[in-house]
Amino acid sequence: MRKLAPVALATLALVACSGTPEPATAPPSTVGPTTSAPAASPSATTSATTAQSPSPATSAASAVPETHELEVTVHDTFDEPWAMAWLPGTDALVITERGGTMKLRDASGVREVSGVPEVVVAGQGGLGDVIPGPTFTTDGTVYLSWVEAGDGGTGAVVGTAKLDVSAAALSDVAVIWEQRPKVDGDGHFAHRLAIQDDHLFVSSGDRQKMDPAQELDSTLGKILRLTLDGQPAADNPFSGEDAPVAQQFYSMGHRNPLGLAFDADGRLWSTEMGPKGGDELNLIQPGANYGWPVASNGSHYGGGEIPDHTDGDGFEPPKVFWTPSISPGSLMIYQGTLFPAWTGDAFIGGLSGEVLIRVDLDGETATEAENWPMGSRIRALSEGPDGAIWVLEDGPGARLLELRPS
């Protein structure tokens, strides 16, 4: 095990730009048993927080510490993992790999799941998200997303299936939603899933086509709110529009929203990859337009400015944004109490940023509070049953890490 220490935000910028590992970030080969790295002093953490927030009212008055030191345990490795979810009523973690395999990990080890649908593997596409459905403990229903081919190119789909944990078998796969239109290219599928009560939320990326994010006849560049069987929810904000596709929309103007999570009060938050700079954490409001590609705090790759989010431009600005990019690939809102200082806060995994970020959430206010250089691209985050924070690296040989208070 090793310990991870938070660093001041200024240091993150250095790491993100240069890729230079911090001393606390040991390369994989040197992560040995009980290596304790120097922990950040409380004052370093406080200064990072203060730099972002002019009035850190919670720092002195809080009965719990501002932060925690992290002890990192390295578990198994996976091949290009994309998503993971704990399965309620079991001690199993289900993990997807982009190449089309699904794994179950529990105390007895890692098993491959049979019955996974055929997926198109290209670019960013392949097998995507997996989450347990509301009836998982009684009937094993899970929701998953992947990429399929069809007229016009490729697109994401969402399906339901039954997952038998003891047999490590998926059955009764049924497609319930399709990203439309299918287009050429193999980027920005997004296809992240979240369920609140009896509604399924799906993030649908812009497929690198940009303009469709502002159009009512395409599901590209939207966050959708569906029934649990994939139909447009009855009271969606665009239901009155004369465009049947828009009846699925909850919000629009998105680029590549790879994070989707509810806080304990039921607010929906999303992380979105910006272009060159301008990565976003958004509070998702029904009917709102988040600006892409008309407004972005980033700019086009290869040149070309995009007007920043500005008061009065008609678009919902991000609550937090990152320039240069961190490439947020995942979002988790911590509900546990194992880390009592962090209950209710958002955690974001950075791909190009190779970073774990904590954002302090307070109602509708979000403030970046801490970050930990991880020394590798971070693909997925999940909160374990006892409140430990589980982290999946990206790419071949990606490690599954468990973070606990040290």
User: Based on CB atoms, which residue is closest to Ca ion, 148 or 206?
Assistant: 206
Is residue 205 part of the contact set for Ca ion (CB under 5 A)? no
> Is the distance from CB of 406 to CB of 70 less than 8 angstroms?
yes
User: Based on CB atoms, which residue is closest to Ca ion, 265 or 305?
Assistant: 305
User: Based on CB atoms, which residue is closest to Ca ion, 75 or 276?
Assistant: 276
- Please give the structure tokens belonging to residue 29: 């080969």
Task: Write down the catalytic residue from 68, 75, 188, 300.
Answer: 188
Shortest Å, Cβ 116 to Ca ion: 34
Encoded one letter per residue, x for contact with Ca ion by CB under 5 A and - for no contact, window 162-201 reads: ----------------------------------------
Q: Which of residues 283-302 bind Ca ion (CB under 5 A)?
A: 290-291, 299
Shortest Å, Cβ 375 to Ca ion: 29
- Known catalytic membership, residue 188: yes
Among 69, 308, 313, 402, binds Ca ion (CB under 5 A): 308
Is residue 269 part of the contact set for Ca ion (CB under 5 A)? no
User: Based on CB atoms, which residue is closest to Ca ion, 81 or 318?
Assistant: 318
Shortest Å, Cβ 254 to Ca ion: 7
**Binding-residue total with Ca ion (CB under 5 A):** 5
Among 131, 306, 351, 388, binds Ca ion (CB under 5 A): 306
User: Based on CB atoms, which residue is closest to Ca ion, 69 or 308?
Assistant: 308
**Positions marked active-site:** 188
Residues in contact with Ca ion by CB under 5 A are 290-291, 299, 306, 308
